[in-house]
Amino acid sequence: MARNYIAYYQKLGFADKPPATLSTLRTLHRNHMMTIPFENLDIHYGDRITLSPAAHYEKLVGNGRGGFCYEMNGLFFEAITALGFEAWRISVRVADGKGGFLQEFGHLAIVVSLDEKLYLCDVGFGESFIEPMLIQSKLKQPQGSKVYRMIKDINETFVVQYAAPEQKFKDHYSFTLDKRELDDFADMCIYHQESPNSTFTQKVLCSIATPEGRITLTRQSVIVTKNGIKDLRIIESEEAFFEELFLQFGILL
């Protein structure tokens, strides 16, 4: 039996089940990123993260928590396809900062086919584009304080890039349009929770987009960015960390 996602739509500002339109897709995408935090708290304080859509719904909607890509985009995919959107999951390779890209299935994103156009959706990366990107090579797409674009190579791979004002474009991640199943990401979901080489095991993170910028909390600091201006405060104890977690995100572990 299909899950009723009404509570999710209401959490993101809709009174009822919205129509499967581009306006709806943009609003759901933007409001998800400004309502549900990107966080890896369970890796450090909680239970094992699974690829169960029911678990994603219960955690992010029922329990008021956030999650990382497999949970965030896992929920988003189920919720938009329940509305009738034609969509599929894709594997994303994150830029390694050295001119290359990390492992296949290291990140999950979504492609939506709508009105004979393709859109890239990703509510589970943390700091990234706020609204769906049109999948079109070389098209510059302003999003907040950054400009995004994607470049397609001869192997039908798209490289998403971003640039801050007056700076050169940097690689964000790469993807193909190949359709993937949720279980394809199982090994990397375990890797991100167990490997000492995973960024998720190396630090605790909770972050959310705001209309003015972003709030990011780690064990070391909380950074509130408004209109490009960053306010950084040092976290001096674990007690202070949990206080900020509740104050900034409403999360009580």
Arithmetic mean of pLDDT over the chain: 95
pLDDT on residue 2 = 58
The per-residue pLDDT for range 109-165, each reduced to its tens digit, is: 999 999 999 999 999 999 999 999 999 999 999 998 899 999 999 889 999 999 988
pLDDT on residue 144 = 84
* Count of alpha carbons within 13 angstroms of residue 16, beta-carbon side: 1
pLDDT on residue 103 = 95
Alpha-carbon distance 253 to 46, whole Å?
A: 8
Residue with tokens 């004002």: 165
Alpha-carbon distance 237 to 168, whole Å?
A: 38
pLDDT on residue 1 = 43
H-type alpha helices, 88-217:
186-194, 199-202
Q: What CATH number was assigned to the domain covering residues 6-198?
A: 3.30.2140.20
pLDDT on residue 158 = 98
Tell me which long-range contacts 224-232 makes (C-beta under 8 A, separation of at least 24).
Answer: 224/248, 228/145
Measured from the Cβ of residue 56, the count of other Cβ atoms closer than 10 Å reads 24
Q: Give the residue extent of every domain in the chain.
A: 6-198
Regions of the chain short of the pLDDT cut 70: 1-2
Residue 98 φ/ψ, nearest 5 degrees: -125, 15
pLDDT on residue 238 = 94
Q: Who contacts 222 (Cβ-Cβ below 8 Å, separation ≥6)?
A: 215, 216, 232, 233, 235, 244, 248
Task: Identify the CA nearest to 33 among candidates 130, 107, 120.
Answer: 130
Sign of CA dihedral 29, 77, 205, 126: negative
The per-residue pLDDT for range 7-22, each reduced to its tens digit, is: 999 999 999 999 999 9
